[in-house]
Copies of this chain bind each other. A is one copy, B any other.
């Protein structure tokens, strides 16, 4: 049934069949293929699988159950949604981490197709059952029970308010376990299994070294997958992220490193308090590439240099990973970096960048390829005082500068910066040049406040007709 018909009339034969999340076919748009890796370098001691369950009855073949496992007990941490309505898997994963102090983790079990959110005690029981059943696979095979309860984190993504088809899922967990593998194909299938309305699987991997003498000559590895595809300030469209490394990191450091990285990456495509019921980003570190069992794990107190290096590596990697979510924003045609510089505080810079990134008027102007600096300025000006640290001093109109900067590798890169507003004064804009710049898929909006030295960057996309179509038509 054509959307335009459904929207404007009341069709006589409307059928009340709900189509939940998760892609119904596996075709990836040609424009997104460049973001899907064809090979990778994956961390040692991690095995993954993507298995078909059919959480959505309409899904007859696509993988919708992901298992990410470590061959040895790993340290782990997770950053969870701040939404007041916390989904059952969030409650359970938080509890698993607390009970074991972030130690002895063996896996993360993820289903797409149903978020298991706002599902009451039954939903919590279901999430525990997923965690326990996944944990049991490893207990049977290799790990003696440490009496700290299940060692598997749980994530779910999809429509909220629906119970999981829990028997189907539990029955397939042994299959997921037997499907575990370490090759690129397995990682890609797993990344696909966590997707909902995403148009492509989001998977990255990298290698890195650490400066400490004990790490000399060791190549560590880091891999991650994510899913999003909803709004770029994700709210109901759940944001999930899973990072795995074979570097040896202490339990405390896993937690602080993840928080540091997420604050400069996943939280810069979102804001505190503006998250879905299910958002979760987790990090597992199993130390499988350690030179020896006696290698001291990375820690901020005992190996500060390695810790700082690891923080940079993880932050940069998480930024690249989270940017893939923006690349796949629902209906997005542009990737826009909002860079606010020379603010009094980082809080101010982030609040202003976030306000610009959220403005529907800015986002529709970008979609319309309109160099409408007025809307950007307006958004700067209405940034909520409740979010600013510096009150009236945070923005001084007569010092405010706004420019469009061509992104690296963009077609109009050679033309340089296009200044729209200098010290509060609008500039005569060469509309032909602006037009060329706005034809580029990537664009940087640079805001120079000239009141301090702090900086904040957000990544966002535009607001298109397709966004309205997708979100006016998601559930029914």
Contacts and interface: CB of A to CB of B under 8 A. Distances in A.
Interface of A: 6-7, 10, 14, 16, 82-85, 117-120, 159-161, 230-231, 235-237, 271-277, 359-361, 364-365, 367-370, 372-375, 377-387, 392, 395, 397, 421, 424-426, 431-432, 435, 439, 463-465, 467-469, 471-476
18 contacts: A82-B385, A84-B392, A84-B395, A85-B380, A118-B374, A118-B424, A118-B426, A160-B377, A161-B426, A235-B359, A235-B361, A236-B378, A274-B384, A276-B378, A277-B378, A364-B467, A365-B474, A463-B468
Contact of A84 (B119, B236, B397, B431): B397
B273 A383 contact: yes
A420 to B, nearest CB: 9
A232 to B, nearest CB: 10
A236 B380 contact: no
A381 B159 contact: no
A367 B472 contact: yes
B426 A381 contact: no
Contacts of A271: 384
A283 to B, nearest CB: 23
A114 to B, nearest CB: 12
A380 B236 CA distance: 11
Given A235-B379, A374-B160, A378-B160, A10 B475 contact: no
B465 A378 contact: no
A463 B467 CA distance: 10
Contacts of A119: 426
Contact of A381 (B85, B237, B380): B85
Contacts of A463: 360, 468
A365 B471 contact: yes
Contacts of A377: 85, 118, 160-161, 277
A472 B464 CA distance: 8
Contacts of A465: 465, 468-469
A435 B472 CA distance: 14
Given A230-B361, A464-B468, A468-B364, A474 B374 contact: no
Contact of A7 (B276, B369, B387, B432): B369
